[in-house]
Chains A and B, each alone.
Chain A
Amino acid sequence: MATPVVSASGPPATPAPAPVAAPASASASVPAPTPAPAAAAVPAAAPAASSDPAAAAATTAAPGQTPASAQAPAQTPAPALPGPALPGPFPGGRVVRLHPVILASIVDSYERRNEGAARVIGTLLGTVDKHSVEVTNCFSVPHNESEDEVAVDMEFAKNMYELHKKVSPNELILGWYATGHDITEHSVLIHEYYSREAPNPIHLTVDTSLQNGRMSIKAYVSTLMGVPGRTMGVMFTPLTVKYAYYDTERIGVDLIMKTCFSPNRVIGLSSDLQQVGGASARIQDALSTVLQYAEDVLSGKVSADNTVGRFLMSLVNQVPKIVPDDFETMLNSNINDLLMVTYLANLTQSQIALNEKLVNL
């Protein structure tokens, strides 16, 4: 499957113009010392990770400052294909579990934005757990953003939240989302608004401008930083994002993903045997990949890995060994059951049709 090709030269260039153009923010954003971006970058997995986390951490650390130090590590992995846009688990941070509905809603609100609006924002709703936060719902909030001011319709946000609470009382305001690949100083202001609504709100960014050719989805939490005793600044520390699904959700997402493969992005809902056919085709694909791997190992192209071998063995042993006669009887009785049920269903249908005819005589 072709993945969107990432242009590696993208990330180092973009953070530079943005902070330079932005005027000194009104909020308390103390020019953080250079160790701060490095400190933020350290929890971000291995340095071999893509240029994204470094650039993002640097931008979030000091919106008004050129992340000069972050540029250097960002440029080294440029020639190679950058790793996953989402860095590995952040130790000590909370885990944010997103439902795909949220992302779809966000992208949809972005597509419906007003003329001239560069990004959309909205509230995230969900539940809080001890170690994780599960975001299950969201709605967009109208806002106006210009060079030096930002206006968010909080009245609207409150109203919507009340309405939502009526139908699902368990949801709390967890934070807010914004589209766009950067965290601007306006974000800090908006984040402040939201910290009045929820303790320690989460900020989610969905990059709809497709920087690096990917839609990166990141979550942040704000932490205070700066010299104690003086004005404190705000730093956005990244959080691990995981995806959670209800079972039925997963099946639906699976179906909707199929539109990726059709030319005009349209699919219909398939029916009975087609679905079984589709599912078995998928298993066939998976099996052929496994077979390919086995062939490669046998011919010596790939070195054998013991864990994979163990998995393969358990896979082959999954097919239960049943005495053929027993299996015959089981199979036959099952088939008989099914055939009988089909026959009964047909019989019932003809009965009611007959009844209709008789009644209407």
Chain B
Amino acid sequence: MMLTLMKAQYFLWGGLPTPWKKGTSTHRRGGTSLGGKGSRIRLDTERVKFTRDSRVVMETSQERDPSWRVQYQMEMMRSLRHVNIDHLHVGWYQSTYYGSFVTRALLDSQFSYQHAIEESVVLIYDPIKTAQGSLSLKAYRLTPKLMEVCKEKDFSPEALKKANITFEYMFEEVPIVIKNSHLINVLMWELEKKSAVADKHELLSLASSNHLGKNLQLLMDRVDEMSQDIVKYNTYMRNTSKQQQQKHQYQQRRQQENMQRQSRGEPPLPEEDLSKLFKPPQPPARMDSLLIAGQINTYCQNIKEFTAQNLGKLFMAQALQEYNN
């Protein structure tokens, strides 16, 4: 399934792009807290086309009645219908910093969207990476397997093992394509003439070690969380196995006693409910570790992409220097 972004319109980087509207909204908020989340409204099937989005700011700091968001959305969609703008809800977008978007909240939201609307997608926009020189916009959906698991709401290790989900298989990325109409093309030519659009070349700047440092910092935090999670899981496994042993021993002792009693002619001891005696320890929620693993994976991919670019730039700088000397 391909995602076609139709021009114009509104976006945070608004539809013209949608990317535009998205960009402006997070920019205005000064880049703090959550950034913008909004829903997108679409046109077509199979190749999902996003044409416009209306921004609904979800700032956790504000105390607002949660229903006003729903109300806002309904009102906005109704109004947009009046002006012939596609008003079918197709998904939502979120902005993130340094690519840290694999969270429980996102999973839940995307699940509810995807459950209601088959083709819904979440667009992830990274303003910091975009400021580095190239638009960073990715679209994700939950894989069908993950949808199943979420539907059951059963996140225990057994269920997950049954579903055979690995962290790589949680989200599937949908390729994005940008398509413009002819009139927008004319507009583009006009803009090109009138304004110096790309006069800064941030993409080729070598001074991006700060970005890399931040990324690595986040990665380290996540890896720490991951290791804690692993420790928890290990203790759980150890506890269960110890418990099994204890159960086994208890059973054996019971049997021995019973045999002794039988040999002495006394009534056997009642069978006690083993499960009440030995309460099995709580299995840790596996979903969190899946999410952490997924997030670590994203960070690693980002870092690799980044280092590839930087290596290229360094070699170019070397070539320039060689020529100088």
Chain A residues packing against B (C-beta within 8 Å): 1, 3-4, 84, 86, 99-101, 103-105, 107-114, 136-137, 139-142, 153, 156, 159-160, 163, 166-168, 170, 208, 210, 214-215, 217, 242-243, 245-257, 259-260, 264-273, 275-277, 279-280, 282-283, 319, 321-322, 324, 327, 331, 334-335, 338-339, 341-342, 345-346, 348-349, 352-353, 355-356, 359-360
B20 touches A257 (CB 8 A): no
A248 touches B14 (CB 8 A): no
Given contacts A108-B52, A252-B135, 11 further A-B contacts (CB under 8 A): A101-B13, A101-B21, A107-B184, A111-B8, A111-B181, A112-B85, A217-B190, A249-B23, A252-B19, A252-B130, A349-B297
Residues of A near B168 (CB, < 8 A) are 353
* A-B interface, 5 closest residue pairs, ranked by CB to CB distance from nearest: A104-B16, A108-B8, A243-B195, A104-B8, A248-B23
Q: Which residue of B lies closest to A162 (CB)?
A: B75
Residues of A near B21 (CB, < 8 A) are 101
Q: Which residue of A lies closest to B293 (CB)?
A: A352
| A319-B324, A349-B300 given; A260·B188 CB < 8 A | yes
Report which of B76, B176, B212, B300 forms a contact with A348, defined as CB distance below 8 A: B300
Residues of A near B13 (CB, < 8 A) are 101, 248-249, 252
Alpha-carbon distance between A243 and B197 when the two chains are bound, in angstroms: 9
| A136-B24, A256-B178, A324-B325 given; A163·B72 CB < 8 A | yes
Total of A-B residue pairs, C-beta within 8 Å: 292
Which one of B56, B167, B300, B317 has the highest number of Cβ atoms from chain A below 10 Å of its Cβ?
A: B300
Residues of A near B194 (CB, < 8 A) are 84, 86, 243
Alpha-carbon distance between A324 and B176 when the two chains are bound, in angstroms: 44
A338 touches B310 (CB 8 A): yes
- B192 sits at the interface (CB 8 A): yes
Report which of A248, A267, A331 forms a contact with B27, defined as CB distance below 8 A: A248
CB of A120, distance to nearest CB on chain B (Å):
8
Alpha-carbon distance between A64 and B262 when the two chains are bound, in angstroms: 119
Which one of B130, B157, B164, B216 has the highest number of Cβ atoms from chain A below 10 Å of its Cβ?
A: B130
CB of B87, distance to nearest CB on chain A (Å):
11
Q: Which residue of B lies closest to A340 (CB)?
A: B307
Alpha-carbon distance between A84 and B191 when the two chains are bound, in angstroms: 12
Residues of A near B161 (CB, < 8 A) are 360
Report which of A3, A103, A282 forms a contact with B191, defined as CB distance below 8 A: A103
- B116 sits at the interface (CB 8 A): no
CB of A113, distance to nearest CB on chain B (Å):
7
Alpha-carbon distance between A29 and B87 when the two chains are bound, in angstroms: 41
A276 touches B309 (CB 8 A): yes
Alpha-carbon distance between A253 and B233 when the two chains are bound, in angstroms: 48
- B185 sits at the interface (CB 8 A): yes
Alpha-carbon distance between A301 and B33 when the two chains are bound, in angstroms: 58
A105 touches B10 (CB 8 A): yes
B83 touches A112 (CB 8 A): yes
B75 touches A259 (CB 8 A): no
Alpha-carbon distance between A62 and B47 when the two chains are bound, in angstroms: 50
| A100-B20, A266-B177 given; A319·B320 CB < 8 A | yes
9 residue pairs bridging A and B, Cβ less than 8 Å apart: A4-B189, A104-B14, A108-B8, A156-B79, A168-B57, A257-B188, A260-B189, A339-B311, A342-B307
Contact with A along B217-237 (1 / 0, CB 8 A): 001000100100010010000
Residues of A near B184 (CB, < 8 A) are 104, 107-108, 259
B314 touches A334 (CB 8 A): yes
| A101-B20, A243-B194, A243-B195 given; A331·B303 CB < 8 A | no
| A108-B15, A163-B75 given; A331·B300 CB < 8 A | no
Q: Which residue of B lies closest to A110 (CB)?
A: B183
Alpha-carbon distance between A114 and B193 when the two chains are bound, in angstroms: 31
A105 touches B300 (CB 8 A): no
Residues of A near B180 (CB, < 8 A) are 256, 259-260, 265
CB of A291, distance to nearest CB on chain B (Å):
14
CB of B322, distance to nearest CB on chain A (Å):
9
CB of A325, distance to nearest CB on chain B (Å):
11
Residues of B near A352 (CB, < 8 A) are 167, 226, 293, 296-297
Report which of A153, A254, A271, A356 forms a contact with B198, defined as CB distance below 8 A: A254
CB of B189, distance to nearest CB on chain A (Å):
6
Alpha-carbon distance between A349 and B194 when the two chains are bound, in angstroms: 47
Alpha-carbon distance between A156 and B78 when the two chains are bound, in angstroms: 10
